[in-house]
Chains A and B, each alone.
Chain A
Amino acid sequence: EPEVTQTPSHQVTQMGQEVILRCVPISNHLYFYWYRQILGQKVEFLVSFYNNEISEKSEIFDDQFSVERPDGSNFTLKIRSTKLEDSAMYFCASSVQIEQYFGPGTRLTVT
């Protein structure tokens, strides 16, 4: 069964550094998403992406964040200058219709 995959599974970075989280969505899916879950808090929507542009974004998704689909298979989330409060589990998801399929997540630790 096709799955969403994410790399790396765990990323440790220093405050102020740039990080890129990578996702490979399910191959025939058209919509792509990033969510995050800060430890002990709810899963929160960050951004959705369709037809090579952002279709929705939340208040969390400020200028520090960007997304890109650099080729036909990858979907990336870049955080330009990480802060301590960016430490969280980041989930990628993809969909064709209404139901979204999630990857296993990348745990980002900012020190």
Chain B
Amino acid sequence: AQSVTQLDSHVSVSEGTPVLLRCNYSSSYSPSLFWYVQHPNKGLQLLLKYTSAATLVKGINGFEAEFKKSETSFHLTKPSAHMSDAAEYFCVVRTDTGRRALTFGSGTRLQVQP
């Protein structure tokens, strides 16, 4: 069985400073990993995905994530936060061979201060 742990329920940064949202996963198989973002009253938008290709994955809006198998981590980063980045971020894993169900983390709310 797979699981995802998002280490921070809430992160607050100042505009223009770096963003780090932490995620650890547990999986019996090689995982596919995703980050989704949810803005208020909006759907879940795919930011980026890792599917066993390059370990450093670039996504939309300047976000990227690095898959580290030795640390079972998939942290999301952005060099410089923008006010529009304020949202809920979900780390998601899919591992079981033949299954398509996604397992979500509990989410991290990112607040960006002016």
Residues of A within 8 A of B (CB): 3-4, 31, 33, 35, 41-45, 48, 55-56, 58, 91, 93, 95, 98-105
- For chain B, the count of residues having a C-beta within 8 Å of the partner chain is 22
A35 to B42 Cα, complex, angstroms: 15
Q: Are A45's CB and B43's CB within 8 A?
A: no
Q: Are B43's CB and A98's CB within 8 A?
A: no
A3 to B101 Cα, complex, angstroms: 20
A91 to B106 Cα, complex, angstroms: 16
Which among A58, A98, A103 is the interface contact of B51 at CB below 8 angstroms?
Answer: A98
Q: Are A100's CB and B106's CB within 8 A?
A: no
B41 within 8 A of A: yes
Known: A43-B104, A45-B103, A99-B49. A104 touches B41 (CB 8 A): yes
- Contacts of B51 on A, CB cut-off 8 Å? 98
Residues of B within 8 A of A (CB): 32, 34, 36, 41-46, 49, 51, 90, 94, 99-107
Q: Are B90's CB and A101's CB within 8 A?
A: no
Which among A41, A55, A100, A104 is the interface contact of B102 at CB below 8 angstroms?
Answer: A100
CB distance from B33 to the nearest CB of A (A): 11
Q: Are A58's CB and B101's CB within 8 A?
A: yes
Q: Are A56's CB and B101's CB within 8 A?
A: yes
Q: Are A31's CB and B100's CB within 8 A?
A: yes
CB distance from B6 to the nearest CB of A (A): 10
CB distance from A2 to the nearest CB of B (A): 13
**Residue in chain B with minimal CB distance to A95:** B100
**Residue in chain A with minimal CB distance to B106:** A42
Q: Are A99's CB and B43's CB within 8 A?
A: no
Known: A56-B99, A104-B43, A105-B43. A99 touches B34 (CB 8 A): yes
- Contacts of B90 on A, CB cut-off 8 Å? 43
Q: Are B42's CB and A104's CB within 8 A?
A: yes
- Contacts of A3 on B, CB cut-off 8 Å? 43
| Interchain residue pairs with CB less than 8 A apart (7) | A42-B106, A44-B104, A58-B101, A99-B49, A101-B46, A102-B36, A102-B43
Q: Can you name 18 extra interface pairs (CB under 8 A) apart from A56-B99, A98-B49, A100-B102?
A: A3-B43, A33-B100, A41-B106, A42-B106, A45-B101, A48-B101, A55-B100, A56-B100, A56-B101, A91-B44, A98-B51, A98-B94, A99-B46, A100-B46, A100-B100, A102-B36, A104-B41, A104-B43
